Chains A and B, each alone.
Chain A
Amino acid sequence: MTQFLQQMVNGIVLGATYGLIALGYTMVYGIIQLINFAHGEIFMVGAFAGLFTFARLPTALQTRPLLALPLVIVSAVVVSVTTSLLVERLAYRPLRRASRLAPLITAIGVSIALQELVRLFYPLPDGRLGAKSPVSFPRLVNGPPVDLGGVTIARVSLFVVAVAIVLMLGLQAFVRTTRTGKAMRATAQDPDTAKLMGIDTDKIIVITFAIGAALAGIAGVMQGMRFVQIDFRIGFIAGLKAFTAAVLGGIGNITGAVLGGFVLGIVEVMATQYVPKGSQWKDVWAFVVLIAVLVFRPSGLLGERVATRA
């Protein structure tokens, strides 16, 4: 039983990161029907920006994680959002009226470009250029793991889950209650009509990209803190898993992305534990679940049936 609970905890921690990144995929898709494959790289850029700031803080701050952490997170968010907005402006907006394949391929190109930029030009803490091999990341949230009747939870994991849940709830509230949120929903439903109603849809699209990027940037710092190392390739796998989570939950649906993240994380972990040869096939099981869900609910767990746009 302890073991089941421990695996549940592992799954929830894993799922929280998936969910946080999945939100960016799902929001952008909801508004402009673009699978933003560069989103995983925004997450990676956030992690590297956090490290950049941390490495250049005075020692007095570096040794006080509670003061350093907010600075690290803020810088990650700023850089992630800036990168994402530049990508939107330079790569996606010129293609807004093009066929849907064009921005999709562009997104893949942007993803490769961002990876290579970090690989070749990231200024390492020791002054060299290019993060060609994994770079170590500060732990920031220290202390012994919490023990709940045999179930151990690392402090940093607790922090990750707490932050993820707060952000997810905050986003829900934002989209449900604020004027901007309402405008976002209107743009998602029908961009042309929304425009006729006086909504500046370009601005709404920018805001959507920004929110997704901010969440991804925070997720990047969380990832770095948990594994104490980051690499220019972390965005690829994380992005793939988060995209799967978004589809699983119903792409375009915010609650769905969060749910999808947790389901995916828990399935992976439970497959490792309870299926023979599970650790070898954990990703296979994750995709079996995805396919099963899509067979019975083609639009995902919480997705609604939407007519495809031309």
Chain B
Amino acid sequence: MHRRRFWRISVLVAVAALLLAACGSNKGEGSSTGTTTAKTNTVKIGVIAPLSGSLSALGQGIKNSVDLAIKQANDKNKVKGWKIELAAEDDTAKADVGAQVASKLESDTAVAGVVGTLNSSVALQVQPILARANVVMVSPANTGIELTQGTDPANKKRPYPNYFRVATTDAIQGPFAANYASKDLNAKNVVTIHDKKTYGQGLVAEFTKQLVKNGGKVVAAETINPGDQDFSAVLTKIKPLNADLIYYGGEYPEAQLLTSQAKAQGIKAPLMGGDGIFDKTYIQTAKEASEGDLCTSVGAPTDELASASDFVAAYKAAGYKDDFSAYGAYSYDAANVIIDALAKVLSGKAALTPALKQDIITAVQGTKLDGVTGKLGFDEFGDTTTKVLTVYKVTQQEWKAVKTDEFK
């Protein structure tokens, strides 16, 4: 009896060991930098993004684009005497996991900067941890206002001097969407739905303010839970309101089900969202139901920007498995902002000291670069100085840019 149990346990252990080995080798393939360098110093740029889970399409695009920027910098030897490595961490789009991986990067003294996060809610947890170690953080995608301007809109105060973003905020994206809704779509009665996360809630709040200013009306303000799949109750409730538009604050995993179920219930109004729904997956899942739906995204369309064509070509040539997705170009720019600062501060230096990390932050603050998404620079809060946004519409099962404009 005893022997049998022992045998069974050994089999279990063997299987577990095999599985672990398999995981390990997978990771090895995924990371880009592996070879050791003999003479040069190594500095790391971290990535914190959802590399698995429902938002991984966006997260992988972020990671690969940063990887591309690092490879190019190494090839051109941009930071003299230093080799840059990528340290990518998976936050699974959850704030607590984000805090854990941020601590991991904080404790790694070779990490000089971090590109991330995707989610504003995760960034809120990551900011203070990286700030402790003076690690500069540049987000390609965060739109939550409080990240740069604090919680009190009347008394703006930057919470962390190490935090920057190349994405525009909800304070601009929400009103931009509202202006499009009132002026271009002639939408008077709008239903808003959000997923109670920092991003969705902020977007809907700013959208609502501007819509009311434009003379529109929010006829129902509803919420859903992230992770829910059945939205029939909320949709039945709003159906008789005959709204002109459904404005959704949230991301595509819920939005694509919401729009499918809305159309199945016979709701004609299109769904409009922020950059969180701007992904191919949205159309692939919702199929015909997504036709005519709208979204806003930061910057001008990557494919149409002349400055971005080199990036698009290089990304394709690098042969990444996943698409660069909505934030690829921004992540590439964010990485280059950090690399540019590293080149200024670290070139010729022997070691990365805490004082130099402070200098890197100062260098990022003074960034003046021509990025693939436009001019890169930061105001006194760490927000981007470029405020261009684009409205996209699902036309024949594809996101087509319908209006690019600078928000004033």
Give residues in A with beta carbon < 8 Å to B.
3, 6-7, 10-11, 13-14, 119-120, 132-134, 136, 145, 152, 154, 223, 226-229, 231, 233-234, 237, 268-269, 272-273, 278-280, 282-283
Contact = CB atoms under 8 A, between A and B. Distances in A.
Contacts of B237: 3, 7, 272-273, 278-279
B224 A237 contact: no
Given A11-B233, A229-B285, A234-B229, A134 B253 contact: yes
9 tightest CB-CB pairs across the interface, nearest first? Answer: A272-B233, A10-B232, A269-B233, A132-B52, A279-B222, A280-B223, A227-B229, A133-B56, A6-B236
B26 to A, nearest CB: 8
Given A120-B23, A133-B56, A10 B233 contact: yes
B234 A279 contact: yes
Given A133-B57, A233-B227, A280 B196 contact: yes
Contact of B266 (A10, A152, A233): A152
Interface in B235-279: 236-237, 239-240, 253, 256-257, 260, 264-266
A226 B260 CA distance: 11
Interface residues of B, number: 34
B224 A133 contact: no
B228 interface: yes
Q: Which of A11, A133, A227 has the most CB of B within 10 A?
A: A133
B347 to A, nearest CB: 39
B151 interface: no
B40 to A, nearest CB: 34
Nearest to B193: A279
B225 interface: yes
Nearest to B266: A152
Nearest to A230: B229
Contacts of A133: 52-57, 281
Given A11-B233, A145-B264, A152-B265, A119 B52 contact: yes
A230 B227 CA distance: 11
A229 B225 CA distance: 17
Contacts of A227: 229-230, 257
Nearest to A2: B240
Nearest to B252: A134
Contacts of B234: 272, 279
Q: Is the interface of A mostly helix, strand, loop or mixed?
A: helix
B307 interface: no
Interface of B: 23, 52-57, 193, 196, 222-225, 227-230, 232-234, 236-237, 239-240, 253, 256-257, 260, 264-266, 281, 284-285
Contacts of A132: 52-53, 56
Contacts of A120: 23
A228 B285 CA distance: 7
A63 to B, nearest CB: 16
B56 A237 contact: no
B285 to A, nearest CB: 5
A237 B228 contact: yes
Given A227-B230, A237-B228, A272-B237, 15 more contacts: A3-B239, A3-B240, A14-B230, A14-B233, A120-B23, A136-B284, A152-B265, A229-B256, A229-B285, A237-B227, A269-B233, A272-B234, A273-B233, A273-B237, A279-B234
Given A227-B229, A228-B260, A233-B227, A3 B57 contact: no
A264 to B, nearest CB: 12
A136 B236 contact: no
B119 to A, nearest CB: 15
A7 B233 contact: yes
A273 B222 CA distance: 10
Contacts of A234: 229
Contacts of B193: 279
A10 B265 CA distance: 11
B3 to A, nearest CB: 15
Contacts of B285: 134, 136, 228-229
A102 to B, nearest CB: 16
B204 to A, nearest CB: 12
A279 B260 CA distance: 19
B236 A3 contact: yes
B260 A14 contact: no
Looking at A134, A228, A283, the one whose CB has the most chain B CB atoms below 10 A away is A134
B188 to A, nearest CB: 22
10 contacts: A3-B236, A6-B239, A11-B233, A14-B232, A14-B233, A132-B52, A134-B54, A226-B230, A227-B257, A231-B54
Contacts of A273: 233, 236-237
A189 to B, nearest CB: 30
Contacts of B257: 227, 229
B377 to A, nearest CB: 34
B224 A279 contact: yes
A273 B308 CA distance: 47
A283 B227 CA distance: 13
Contacts of A228: 260, 285
A227 B259 CA distance: 11
Contacts of B260: 228
Contacts of A229: 256-257, 285
A133 B256 CA distance: 14
B1 to A, nearest CB: 12
A271 to B, nearest CB: 8
A11 B233 CA distance: 8
Nearest to B227: A237
Contacts of A13: 230, 232
Contacts of B264: 145, 152, 154
Contacts of B256: 229
A234 B229 CA distance: 9
Nearest to A229: B285
Contacts of B240: 3
A227 B56 CA distance: 20
Contacts of A279: 193, 222-224, 233-234, 237
